[in-house]
Structure 1
Amino acid sequence: MNDSILIFLCVLLGAAVIVVPFTARLGLGSVIGYLLAGVALGPQGFGVMSNPEEILKYSEFGVVLLLFLIGLELHPKRLWEMRNAIFGMGSMQIGLSTLLVGGGLLLLGWSWPQALIAGLGVSMSSTAIAMQVIAEKGLKNHPSGRNGFAVLLFQDLAFIPILLVVSFLGVKTETVGSPSVWMQIAQAIFAIIAIVLAVRFLSYPFFRWIAGAHVRELSTAFSLLIVLGIAYVMEHVGLSMALGTFIAGVILADSEYRHEVEANIEPFKGLLLGLFFLAVGMTIKLDLILQNPWEIMFYLVALLALKMLALVMTGYIFQIDRRQIPLFAILLSQGGEFAFVLFGQAVQQKALDVERSAMLNGVVTLSMLTTPLIMLAYNKFMAGRNQDDKPEADKIESEGRQVIVAGFGRMGQIVTRLLNVNNISSTVIDHNPEQIERVRKFGFKAYYGDATQLAILEAAGISNARLLIVTIDDKDTTNLLVEEVRRAYPKLKILARARDRIHAYELMDRGIEDFERETFGAAVSMGEKALVIMGLSKFAAHRVGLKFKVYDHKNLENLYRYHENEKEFISQSREATAALERLFAQDMVTLQEPANDESWG
């Protein structure tokens, strides 16, 4: 092997090993360390690497592996549940960012095609930067992290249509043999379908065959082959490599090989992602910044301010908790790696001049550098304020209680009172400190804390508990909690509150068999009273209510198999309703007979 290659690798790894721990200890995170090391090693620094674009090209596999691993943790049903956030918030964010940034550039005298291209380019965020910050700050299950991921995913989906917009804005330079725009779209659709089918129907038999050989490195090799093969196909048809591997990860999320694949890929992801940040640092053109420092700083501040404004507006439009909106905006405030490709394409199409492309690339790169710094400032000055100065979680004393109640609103209080009068004590956890203080005055043993955090539940004694009762009123939080607990404590009995019939099916998807729809019992009770007012005896009305409860619950379970097929679900629901009407019509004679109502009086 060439000595220069070994020296280069040693310098690269050495710089990362020295700088990254230093910035991490200062609280700046690993991303800043990698970027600064890249600046030092790049052409504008010590000149160890004169062509950082080559490293950037290959190090993008770190982002590819990152999206693949994210896909492995995201089941298809969970992805479907996120569709409103992905397509709604994602499209709104890109639209508002493009409008604000493009409009600002128009006011500065840019032509409308160049302003539109710049607006579209900077509307894209860096998946690598944002997801790394989300991981380091433990925001994966945080509302800001989940919403940020949804927007990033839509940006991946929107990249090809945005490239097509750029091709229409530029001077046509296509050769006779180049594919048309519609052919490119057809190729992209065919590639995605082929990937889905191949991963779903071909990879499983291969995994079984390889497992039979009992050679661990073969499993690692096949996992990498899947990722690299899909990345090649996606790049060949002009799509995002990361998007393709993300789709593959989602498909494999339900397989029995998921954890093995994850363990095989994880080490490569970390190294290549670090290399990607190093390469981004190397591409920072210090000479351009030093030549036009005020202009670059103006555009950088304007980009961050306008994009964060667009994200804040998106958060308010989609009714994100106002306390989470600043964090959501910071996570996605930077420009992304897609901008480099987009501006390069615009230059080739003669829709953007070289000077402005270089300036925009510099601004986008610097914006990547600022995200961890803004995040640090947020954590220091704003995080506590945006949590409404909530106290730290209480120190929980489980005292051997075998029941844990998560959520102490109206439903949780009634359940707990019923347990107490039967001499069954429970450990109660709620995230509302005012609510905790209020119920303590009435003698309840309740603690403040976030029940979605396993550390809180473990402190409450979940490892020795017989039952977890989830009465939280937010269905997304409930779903997240039961997923985490089911994964960590698969044998624990869980009784959950369902907001409605749809939420009941979501809980069933997560393996929850025991749930109670929050308004169902009260609605049936009200219906019984209505029947009495309309002339039925109290006994008959109560009997009707009981029969209706039994039939409806059985009907809910029978229709579960159809709940993802809307057409079949509606058809089966109509048949079930007709059957219920026939059942009660046959029983009506019995119900109308006089009954002794004294015990119901």
Structure 2
Amino acid sequence: MANIWATAALWIGLAFLASIISIRLGLSVALVEILVGIVAGNTLGLQTDTWINALASFGAVVLTFLAGAEIEPEALRRHLKASLAIGFAGFLAPFLGATAFTRFVAGWSWPQAWIGGLALSTTSVAVVYAVMVETGLNETDIGKLILAACFVNDLGTVLALGLLFANYDLHLVVFVVVTAVTLFLLGRVTRFVIAAWGNRVSEPEVKFLLLVLFFLGWLATIAKSEAVLPAYLVGLAIAEIFTHHRPLMLRLRTLAFALLTPWYFLKAGLYVSLPALVSSIGLIVALLLVKMVTKLLGVGPLTLVFGLERRTSAYTTLLMSTGLTFGTISALFGLNNGIIDRTQYTALVTAVIASALVPTWIAQTWFLPRTEETPRAPADTAAPLPGVETELVAERATREDG
């Protein structure tokens, strides 16, 4: 057995290298960690063990929680109709299209095709948020609409993952009931914990949230579901609290990106086989095209219905064609549970990585909206919440979430 400290030093060293590369190239650190994991797995013979798998699982859960918590409730309410319609179409069209392609063209089994559809149905909140901040669109109506639609899109993916692969038995009933009760009470309990014991060196509020995430993750795995499902819902349930307690969000983000998520993304890249990648290049290109075309067909018309100018419509559609975190989570779920093999996993993850790069590059190069093209806010508006420290969130996300 390898020395635990040597193994930890190697993995953290790779994570540090990925951080430096992401800063120098201006790419998402998650994307670079996957790429570094691919190289390390195919050249250094890097492997996982029980404790690395545990840290990687913790990273996926906390990252999913933070993704749900990043959505400003005010922005979601202001753009409710548009975000629900565009986000649902952004999930459903590529899910059905990619499932049909992998089942009837690539010849995968139905469970394998469902994993393919889920992996390609996602959009990348991390990539989109970074682009919004970089361009300043996060302060505009179009930026808030895109972010809200991305949230709805990914929520559809997470819910579908749970529905398709859960065991429908008593364990699932217990999981659903306990999760529902927890989500109903979580806001009040979290406020009490923060008011009574918050801002202490021992970080009781952070430990409380981790307790909730890990407890619901345990129930989810017993029900043969995925721990990221309740994590996303927990993030949404306390998103409004985080708008008033940004330091708590930033401490959790530091914990996630410094200690936990590198294990997950490095591990995700570790399973990508370069020989399989070369032999599957045609399938990879086809999967990327299927995702982009189905996103165009699903999202494009609805953006026009909600009053976006054509240039802005194309920009929105392209950004919603990106994928990264939930795409790799879905593919890794399929691999870990023996639903897809390593060759299929390689094809899916490579297509997902390409979708984080290609649509973003096209959108930023040719379709970046001009200020006068920013659409008016939809009619379904609500008064903004006080204390939303947008600039702090934007600055932090740019530095750490690429």
Aligned residue for 1:192, secondary structure, equals helix
Residue 233 (str. 1) matches residue 216 (str. 2): yes
Instruction: Name the counterpart of 1:209.
Output: 196
Change in CA separation of 1:216 and 1:47 when aligned onto 2, cut-off 3 Å: same
Correspondent of 2:233 among 225, 236, 244: 244
Aligned residue for 2:192, secondary structure, equals helix
Instruction: Name the counterpart of 1:11.
Output: 10
Change in CA separation of 1:308 and 1:186 when aligned onto 2, cut-off 3 Å: farther
Instruction: Look up the equivalent residue of 2:249 and give its one-letter code.
Output: E
Q: Do the aligned residues in 1 keep the contact of 2:38 with 2:270 (CA within 8 Å)? A: yes
Residue 285 (str. 1) matches residue 284 (str. 2): no
Instruction: Look up the equivalent residue of 2:331 and give its one-letter code.
Output: F
Q: Distance in 2 between matches of 1:92 and 1:78?
A: 19
Q: How does 1:307-386 map to 2 (within 5 A)?
A: 307-333=295-321, 334=323, 336-340=327-331, 343=334, 354=340, 357-374=341-358, 377-378=361-362, 381-383=365-367, 386=368
Instruction: Name the counterpart of 1:95.
Output: 92
Q: How does 1:135-534 map to 2 (within 5 A)?
A: 139-142=137-140, 143-144=142-143, 146-157=145-156, 159-165=158-164, 180-181=168-169, 184=172, 187-197=175-185, 199-211=186-198, 216-218=200-202, 220-237=203-220, 238=225, 240-253=229-242, 258-271=245-258, 272-333=260-321, 334=323, 336-340=327-331, 343=334, 354=340, 357-374=341-358, 377-378=361-362, 381-383=365-367, 386-387=368-369, 431-432=371-372, 474-475=376-377
Instruction: Look up the equivalent residue of 2:193 and give its one-letter code.
Output: F
Greater length-normalized contact order (CA 8 Å, ≥ 6 residues apart): 2
CA displacement at 1:296 relative to structure 2: 3.7
- Structure 2 unmatched runs, 5+: 392-402
Instruction: Name the counterpart of 1:33.
Output: 32
Report the count of equivalent residues.
Answer: 377
Q: Distance in 2 between matches of 1:482 and 1:3?
A: 54
Q: Distance in 2 between matches of 1:275 and 1:139?
A: 31
Identity of aligned residues (%): 13
Aligned residue for 2:16, secondary structure, equals helix
Q: Name the TM-score, length of structure 1 as normaliser.
A: 0.52
Q: Distance in 2 between matches of 1:324 and 1:181?
A: 46
Instruction: Name the counterpart of 2:400.
Output: none
CA displacement at 1:162 relative to structure 2: 4.8
Change in CA separation of 1:145 and 1:17 when aligned onto 2, cut-off 3 Å: farther
Aligned residue for 1:246, secondary structure, equals helix
Q: Do the aligned residues in 1 keep the contact of 2:272 with 2:342 (CA within 8 Å)? A: no
CA displacement at 1:261 relative to structure 2: 1.9
Per-residue CA deviation, residues 154-187 of structure 1 (Å, 9 max, x unaligned), is 43255344543456xxxxxxxxxxx735862563
Q: Distance in 1 between matches of 2:119 and 2:158?
A: 9
CA displacement at 1:62 relative to structure 2: 4.3
Instruction: Name the counterpart of 1:67.
Output: 67
Per-residue CA deviation, residues 328-356 of structure 1 (Å, 9 max, x unaligned), is 333332361342266359856xxxxx4xx
Aligned residue for 1:180, secondary structure, equals coil
Change in CA separation of 1:85 and 1:344 when aligned onto 2, cut-off 3 Å: farther
> Whose strand fraction is larger, Structure 1's or Structure 2's?
1
Task: Tell which structure's C-alpha radius of gyration is larger.
Answer: 1
Change in CA separation of 1:344 and 1:6 when aligned onto 2, cut-off 3 Å: closer
Q: How does 1:115-130 map to 2 (within 5 A)?
A: 117=114, 118-128=116-126, 130=128
Q: Do the aligned residues in 1 keep the contact of 2:79 with 2:145 (CA within 8 Å)? A: no
Q: Distance in 2 between matches of 1:247 and 1:61?
A: 14
Q: Name the TM-score, length of structure 2 as normaliser.
A: 0.74
Q: Distance in 2 between matches of 1:65 and 1:17?
A: 23
Q: Distance in 2 between matches of 1:28 and 1:21?
A: 10
Q: Do the aligned residues in 2 keep the contact of 1:36 with 1:281 (CA within 8 Å)? A: yes
Aligned residue for 1:266, secondary structure, equals helix
Q: Distance in 2 between matches of 1:55 and 1:87?
A: 34
Q: Distance in 2 between matches of 1:341 and 1:3?
A: 25
